[in-house]
Amino acid sequence: MKELTRAEEEIMQILWQLNNAKVSEIIDQMQHKKPSYNTVSTIVRILQDKGFVGFEKEGRGYRYFPIINKEAYQASRMNTYVNNYFEGSFKNMLSFFVKKKEVNVDDLEAILKQINPKDDA
């Protein structure tokens, strides 16, 4: 799966949240300095070309919707990061965060419960 630029990802985050939107609705949801209509429209077309966004005609304009769901993109990106930075090992990645004190014992216990839900009984 192709990687998104920061601008493309910002638009995808909005589309994942809204499920579908016109360009003007995407701009309304942007938090920081709002780009021009033409800029957002161009980025949406790039997302179409990359296979992330579909569209349907609505009135004089178009309504856009995600084709790739957020979870699929997250999984793809995480696998890329794990392969590039942690030798393909999720254990190495988790160890990195433990050493940086960004994961605590409670977090690890919650992860273990997700892995082995039968241990809750």
Overall number of domains in the chain: 2
| Residue 31 contacts residue 14 (beta carbons within 8 Å) | no
Q: Whole-prediction pTM value?
A: 0.81
Residue 58 falls inside a structural domain: yes
| Residue 17 contacts residue 32 (beta carbons within 8 Å) | no
pLDDT, one tens digit per residue, over 40-52 is 999 999 999 999 9
| Whole-number pLDDT of residue 94 | 87
Q: Which domain holds residue 31?
A: 6-66
Residue 80 falls inside a structural domain: no
Token pair belonging to 109? 């216990």
Residue 76 falls inside a structural domain: no
pLDDT, one tens digit per residue, over 15-27 is 999 999 999 999 9
Residue 1 falls inside a structural domain: no
Residue 89 clears pLDDT 60, i.e. is over it: yes
Same domain, 60 and 18: yes
